[in-house]
Amino acid sequence: MTQTPSKPVGGAPAAGAPMTYKQAGVDIDAKYAAVKGSIPAIQSTHTAGVLTGIGNFGSLFRLNAMGKFQDPVLVGSTDGVGTKLSVAVKAGRHDTVGQCLVNHCVNDILVMGAKPLFFLDYISVGKMDRELVRQLVEGMSKACRETGCALVGGETAEMPDLYQPGDYDLAGFIVGVVERNSVLDGTQIRPGDRCLGLRSSGLHTNGYTLARRVLFDVLGLKIDDRPKELGGTTVGEALLAVHRPYLRILEPLLEARLIRGLSHITGGGFRDNIPRVLPEGCSVRLRRSSWTPPPLFQLLVERGNVPGDDAYRALNMGIGMVVIVRPEDEAAARRLLAERGEEVIELGEVVTGNREVLWST
């Protein structure tokens, strides 16, 4: 096969041939066109604190514009969506993973009592795809609007040597604020406190390597298949369900100072996440019989032959957030959650121990 002099041969241009950045694989014009098309969605998230527009080297944010703080503490976090992106690529749908990214980060700082201020994203692709970027940004913008978080900037990178055609990565960075005397650091948790569970909306953003292996490799399912266990939902719809945000649900409890601790059940499941918020001398004893995992989790565990301990560590098993309250505050917490239409699962209680999760039937 012959090649034109202007194209790379064996990774290098022919001697004497011109080589532009675009010919090398990076189209700067396509990048800026993709970003420009997303500006209205980004601007729709801007709050009173945003001082800069789109395209600056950095983003300015005025904290006092968001309210009067006595002793504000900034809380930062970063995360990605993991191999849920592989499902999005299979399905050709990318708006839900944008929402998942923001909601995951909002939940992570919520665990410390913080409310979001602003968010930044990082999108890296093998080849610039305007429609892909549009879907991602619109998804992130939707989640930002719903949580009162301003999408203030980000970076879109084209790296053809690192990503296969169609593949991409997505990461996010969030900053929130909490009054210092309202920080949830777990130090107030005591034996006897109650552990309440809030339902997840699906896998959220963890366990997808296991889920994909079971569903696609072991069971041979396709993205549009509707296994009977899912009750008419396609595999793609079940796997791309948006990571649930808990901010609006838990705001009344935070304002009433009813919460002693929160644990976002993400990678590591119950075993690794709950101990992160426990003080020395405390463990939790949870009852698996307290709830029935949703159909997707039952399908993965039963037909995938996933051991129980592994399932409850890799997957959230239907519980996305654990709320720890004092026994005397449980009734008030349940009432406020019920007013939000929230089903509350009585998972168990805090016990004396060495920062472990103990299971009982």
User: Which pLDDT does position 84 carry in this prediction?
Assistant: 97
* Whether this model's pTM surpasses 0.85: yes
Closest CA to 139 of 84, 193, 102: 102
Residue 51 belongs to domain spanning: 24-182
Residues 174 and 204 in one domain: no
What is d(CA 144, CA 174) in angstroms, rounded to the nearest whole number? Answer: 11
Give the pLDDT of residue 50: 93
- Are 253 and 178 in a shared domain? no
147 and 36 within one domain: yes
In a domain, 3, yes or no: no
* Residue 40 in tokens: 């209205």
Q: How confident is the prediction along the chain (361 residues), in pLDDT tens digits per residue?
A: 334 444 444 455 666 677 888 888 888 888 888 888 888 999 999 999 999 888 788 999 999 888 889 999 999 999 999 999 999 999 999 999 999 999 999 999 999 999 999 999 999 999 999 999 999 999 999 999 999 999 999 999 999 989 988 899 999 999 999 999 999 999 999 999 999 999 999 999 999 999 999 999 999 999 999 999 999 999 999 999 999 999 999 999 999 999 999 999 999 999 999 999 999 999 999 999 999 999 999 999 999 999 999 999 999 999 999 999 999 999 999 999 999 999 999 999 999 999 999 998 7
| In a shared domain, residues 202 and 351 | yes
217 & 353 share domain:
yes
Same domain, 105 and 199: no
Same domain, yes or no, for 173 and 28?
Answer: yes
Per-residue pLDDT at 67: 85
SS3 percent helix, strand, coil of the chain, rounded to 5, is 40, 25, 40
Which residues make beta-bridge pairs with 9? 12
Closest CA to 253 of 147, 143, 113: 113
Same domain, 111 and 243: no
In order of 130, 134, 155, 163, 226, the CA distances from 126 in angstroms are 12, 16, 14, 5, 31
**Chosen domain end from 182, 210, 229:** 182
Are residue 142 and residue 28 in the same domain, yes or no? yes
Last residue of a domain, one of 125, 151, 182: 182
